[in-house]
Each structure stands twice: as C-alpha cells, then as structure tokens.
C-alpha cells in the first residue's frame, strides 16, 4: 500500500520549494546585474580619465614635438615635505590610475610599471621597459587604449587600467551587495513562509470540514449543512456541497415515502385478496362469481400498478421504447373522450374545441391514449355532474397545444409543485378512490418521452387546467 502524503505537507513543501527557488533566482540575478553595472561604471570612469589624459598628452606633443619631460609637465605634480631642517621634494600622480604611455615600437615612455602584470611589461638589460601585450582584447585585465596622433600620425599609445586597484573595490562592493541580498531574501522568505502557513490553514480548514461531513454521509448519516465562511472557490464548493446534501435528503425522504406508498398500494389489494380467499376456504363465503370477481379486480389493479412502476422506471432511465406511427391527434382525442364519458354515470358536460388544421404526427398511440385518458379521468373525478370539462387542441407555431380544463375546485397552491410526483395525492383522505398516485407521473413521463412538456395551473374562472405542448415533428 502506497504511503499517503497529507495535503498540508504537499502544500508546505511546494511553497518552500517555490520560495527557495525565488530567493535563489533573485540573488543570482541581482549579483549578475550589479556586477555588470559595476563593470560598466568602471569602464565609463576609465574612458573618461583616458580621454582627459589623451587630450593633455596630445597637446604636449604638438607643442614640444618630443616626449621628453612629459612626465614632469603633465603626468605628476611635485610637493615639498619638511622633516626638521631637511626638505624633500616628492611627486604624486595627477591621475591615480595605472597607465602606460608607449611609443609605437613598444618603449614605455612613462607610467607606473609596477602596477601592471608581468606579462604586460618587460625590462631589458639597459633598464628600459617595453610593452609585451599586443592584442588587448585577449587580455584578462580590462583596459582602455587610446592612440595619440599628431598630424594624422600615431606617435604613442595610452593604456589606462582600472581607475582604482583592480579587484579590491569590486570584490568589497559585490560582497556587500550579496550579503544584503541574502539578508533581504531571508526576511522575504520568512514572511512568505508565514503567509503560506496562513494560506494553507485557510485552505485546509474548509476541506477538512467537507471531508468530515462526506464521511458521515458515506456512513448513512445526513448531517446539517457544512459551514464554509470563505467567498472564493472553496466557498462555492461548500455551497454546492450543501445543495447536494439537501438534494440527498430530499431524495432519501422521497425514496422512503415511495417505498411506504408502494407497500401501502400493494398491501391493500393483497389484504382484500387474502381475506376473501380465507373466508372462502373457511366456508364463510361460497366460491361463486360474486365472491371471486373482487379478487380478480384486485389482481388487475396489482398488474396495472406493477406495469406502471416498470414503465416509469424505464422512462426515467431513458430506456422506454416508443412505437411511433402517424396519428390523427384530433380523432384520437374524440375516441378517448367518448369512451371515458360513456363509462361514467353522472359525468360532467364535455366540450371539445379541436382545430381542423391539426397535422398528422408520429406518436406512440397507446401511450398517447393513456395520457389523454389519465387527464380526463382526473378532470371527471374532480368536477361535479353539472360542471364542464373542456378539451382544446390547436397548432401554435411548430408545436401542438392540447389542454384539459375543468370547473372543479382547482388545485391548492401548495400542491402545484408536487402534482407530477409519484404517489402524490393532494388530499390524503381520498385514499384509493383518488387513484394510485401514479397517473400524473405517468402522463409527464410519456409527454417528455415524445419531446413535449406539460404544466398545470388554476383557471382564473375556477377549476384546473393541464396544458401539453408537443412538437409537430414528434
């Protein structure tokens, strides 16, 4: 079994890795950028000094036509130092930079030779210094090279090194920058870890609450709603979870109610059948047509109930097979209406308002007949004998609208949202006389299987109305 790593550990390691990488990247970029800027600054300083020196040296050469005395006149200045009664004349460079003034053939005219590497300058037997390096771009020491020209002829070359001692100031400056970057990065990393910890806690708290409630639901318990106070994606997840929990509760309640209703619907005919058969077996009743007929009626009721439940289950699963054929809906309404009203004593008045322009459409005739019969049976049952039942059918656009209205007491507002639920009866006191409670549920499933819709409403003049819309290309 693979070891499970907690989400908190995964998030913590991820945040730490990101913080370390970010600090390291910032440190490297800062050090590299600072070094480049520092080198650019030194180059600019070096070129500035070289330009000033070149101008003064060119001017000296033009005036004197020789390099003799150039050091004393241009490159150094003298000052007197007194120690007691003795006075000493000392010199100091005007430009505190390593430089070399070299003739075209390589002789060093002036400069601080000791400040240059040995592979730059050599000394011959006569004590003269000569320049060794020729390709300055290949040298590791950064220098600025200016050619000194007089009348277009190169008379000398000025080589200027770093303005300050190479390596010392740069290394000190860069080490300071590095230290400052690391200190700042450490502080930033600490703050980032602190904020990351807070964020991890805010993420995990609602997730743990959701996980705890989910485990309870998996065990069959239906707890109250989970509390998630955030207003982000986790908050929306918590809200969706609460909606799901309410839906599960309603589904569980509906399942329990449906199970109880099915048991009740089955128990009643079974009890009648069992009681009647026991009475016949005990000799209380004779086995005559009069005593056996009720048993037969109850078995028919049981068969219809079982068939309805099976068809409803197939329709809700999307596996109901419709046997469609061209049907004249107006004629079908007339046939079903005539049969339904002739079979009832003291039936209300029937009014048919069927458009003569109804098209012939493809329908499952058996199930459409059942839809019309169930709606008519419902209307007749709730309409007094002196009332009216009105059936209308007409074409509206691409749809066919059929409505069944009555002048009965109408539907209670609190019952309207539940009319098409299984086993729902608006008035529980009606018992079995009001039907099995599956009629309207079956109607809804059959209509939707044909791609249509059904809705129920109360008429403003009294009574109820059921309206069906079927696509004409059904």
* Rounded mean pLDDT, 462-470: 94
Domain C-terminal end among 168, 203, 219: 168
Q: Which of 98-107, 257-266, 412-421 has the lowest mean pLDDT?
A: 257-266
| H-type alpha helices, 219-288 | 233-281
- Say whether 425 sits in a helix, a strand or coil: coil
Specify if 173 maps to a domain: no
The residue range of the domain holding 390 is: 323-471
Specify if 104 maps to a domain: yes
**Both 307 and 332 in a single domain?**
no
Specify if 47 maps to a domain: yes
What does the block give as tokens for 279?
């009475």
CA torsion angle 354 358 364 367 (round to 10): -20
**Both 301 and 413 in a single domain?**
no
Q: Which of 49-63, 97-111, 195-209, 223-237 has the lowest mean pLDDT?
A: 223-237
Q: Please, what is the average pLDDT of the chain?
A: 82
**Both 370 and 432 in a single domain?**
yes
In the chain, % of residues over pLDDT 90 = 16
**Both 139 and 13 in a single domain?**
yes
Confidence of residue 322 (pLDDT cuts 50, 70, 90): confident
Residue 187 has pLDDT above 70, yes or no: yes
Domain C-terminal end among 146, 168, 190: 168
* Pairing verdict, β 388-396 and 453-458: unpaired
Per-residue model confidence (pLDDT) at position 434:
44
Per-residue model confidence (pLDDT) at position 468:
95
- The per-residue pLDDT for range 116-164, each reduced to its tens digit, is 776 677 787 777 888 876 655 455 667 888 899 888 888 898 888 876 5
Confidence of residue 13 (pLDDT cuts 50, 70, 90): confident
Query: Which tops the pLDDT comparison, 469 or 258?
Result: 469
Specify if 202 maps to a domain: no
**418 backbone dihedrals φ, ψ, rounded to 5°:** -115, 5
Per-residue model confidence (pLDDT) at position 325:
92
**Both 32 and 160 in a single domain?**
yes
* Rounded mean pLDDT, 353-364: 91
**Both 70 and 146 in a single domain?**
yes
Q: pTM of whole model > 0.85?
A: no
Specify if 228 maps to a domain: no
Per-residue model confidence (pLDDT) at position 136:
55
Specify if 191 maps to a domain: no
Per-residue model confidence (pLDDT) at position 135:
56
Cβ atoms 156, 148 nearer than 8 A: yes
Which residues make beta-bridge pairs with 150?
Answer: 153
Per-residue model confidence (pLDDT) at position 225:
72
Per-residue model confidence (pLDDT) at position 436:
58
Per-residue model confidence (pLDDT) at position 388:
93
* Rounded mean pLDDT, 205-222: 78
Specify if 56 maps to a domain: yes
**Both 293 and 418 in a single domain?**
no
Q: In angstroms, rounded to a whole number, what is the distance separating the alpha carbons of residues 139 and 116?
A: 12
Per-residue model confidence (pLDDT) at position 453:
94
* Tally of structural domains, the chain: 3
What does the block give as tokens for 174?
């860069």
Cβ atoms 407, 463 nearer than 8 A: yes
Domain C-terminal end among 313, 335, 359: 313
- The per-residue pLDDT for range 382-391, each reduced to its tens digit, is 899 899 999 9
**453 backbone dihedrals φ, ψ, rounded to 5°:** -135, 160
Confidence of residue 111 (pLDDT cuts 50, 70, 90): confident
Specify if 181 maps to a domain: no
Confidence of residue 433 (pLDDT cuts 50, 70, 90): very low
Per-residue model confidence (pLDDT) at position 170:
62
**Both 156 and 297 in a single domain?**
no
What does the block give as tokens for 232?
């982000």
Residue 467 has pLDDT above 80, yes or no: yes
Q: Which of 20-34, 200-214, 352-366, 370-384 has the lowest mean pLDDT?
A: 200-214
Confidence of residue 178 (pLDDT cuts 50, 70, 90): confident
**Both 349 and 381 in a single domain?**
yes
The DSSP-derived string for 317-366 is: TT-PPP-EEEE-HHHHHHHHHHHHHHT-TT--EEEEEE-TTPPPEEEEHH
Helix (H) and strand (E) counts in the chain: 8, 15
* Rounded mean pLDDT, 418-435: 59
Q: In angstroms, rounded to a whole number, what is the distance separating the alpha carbons of residues 351 and 399?
A: 22
**Both 401 and 437 in a single domain?**
yes
Tell me the CATH number at 290: 1.10.287.130
Tell me the CATH number at 463: 3.30.565.10
Per-residue model confidence (pLDDT) at position 430:
38
Confidence of residue 212 (pLDDT cuts 50, 70, 90): confident
**Both 23 and 120 in a single domain?**
yes
**Both 361 and 409 in a single domain?**
yes
CA torsion angle 283 288 289 291 (round to 10): -10
């Amino acid at each position: 079994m693979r070891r499970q790593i907690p989400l908190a550990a995964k998030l913590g390691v991820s945040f730490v890795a990101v913080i370390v990488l970010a600090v390291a990247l910032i440190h490297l970029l800062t050090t590299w950028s600072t070094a480049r800027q520092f080198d650019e600054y030194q180059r600019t300083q070096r070129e500035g000094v070289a330009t000033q020196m070149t101008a003064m040296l060119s001017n000296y050469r033009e005036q004197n036509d020789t390099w003799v005395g150039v050091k004393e006149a241009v490159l150094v200045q003298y000052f007197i130092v007194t120690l007691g009664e003795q006075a000493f004349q000392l010199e100091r460079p005007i430009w505190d930079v390593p430089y070399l003034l070299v003739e075209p053939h390589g002789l060093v005219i002036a400069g601080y030779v000791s400040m240059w590497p040995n592979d730059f300058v050599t000394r011959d037997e006569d004590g003269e210094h000569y320049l060794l390096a020729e390709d300055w771009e290949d040298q590791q020491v950064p220098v600025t090279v200016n050619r000194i020209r007089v009348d277009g002829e190169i008379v000398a070359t000025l080589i200027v090194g770093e303005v300050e001692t190479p390596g010392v100031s740069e290394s000190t400056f860069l080490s300071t920058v590095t230290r400052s970057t690391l200190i700042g990065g450490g502080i930033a990393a600490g703050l980032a870890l602190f904020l990351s910890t807070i964020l991890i806690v805010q993420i995990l708290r609602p997730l743990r609450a959701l996980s705890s409630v989910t485990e309870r639901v998996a065990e069959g318990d239906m707890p109250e709603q989970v509390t998630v106070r955030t207003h982000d994606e986790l908050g929306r997840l918590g809200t969706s979870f609460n909606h799901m929990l309410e839906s599960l509760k309603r589904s569980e309640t509906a399942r329990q109610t449906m199970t109880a209703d099915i048991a009740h619907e089955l128990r009643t005919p079974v009890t009648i059948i069992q009681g009647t058969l026991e009475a016949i077996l005990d000799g209380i009743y004779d086995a005559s047509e009069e005593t056996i007929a009720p048993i037969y009626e109850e078995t028919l009721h049981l068969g219809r109930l079982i068939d309805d439940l099976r068809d409803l289950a197939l329709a809700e699963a999307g596996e109901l097979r419709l046997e469609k054929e061209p049907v004249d809906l107006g004629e079908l309404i007339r046939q079903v209406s005539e049969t339904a009203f002739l079979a009832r004593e003291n039936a209300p008045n029937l009014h048919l308002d069927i458009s003569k322009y109804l098209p012939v459409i493809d329908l499952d005739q058996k199930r459409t007949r059942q839809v019309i019969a169930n709606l008519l049976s419902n209307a007749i049952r709730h309409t007094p004998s002196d009332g009216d039942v009105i059936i209308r059918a007409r074409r509206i656009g691409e749809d066919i609208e059929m409505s069944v209205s009555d002048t009965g007491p109408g539907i209670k507002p609190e019952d309207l949202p539940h009319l098409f639920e299984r086993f729902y009866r608006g008035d529980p006191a009606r018992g079995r006389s009001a039907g099995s409670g599956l009629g309207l549920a079956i109607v809804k499933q059959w209509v939707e299987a044909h791609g249509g819709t059904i809705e129920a409403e109360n008429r403003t003049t009294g009574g109820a109305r059921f309206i069906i819309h079927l696509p004409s290309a059904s």
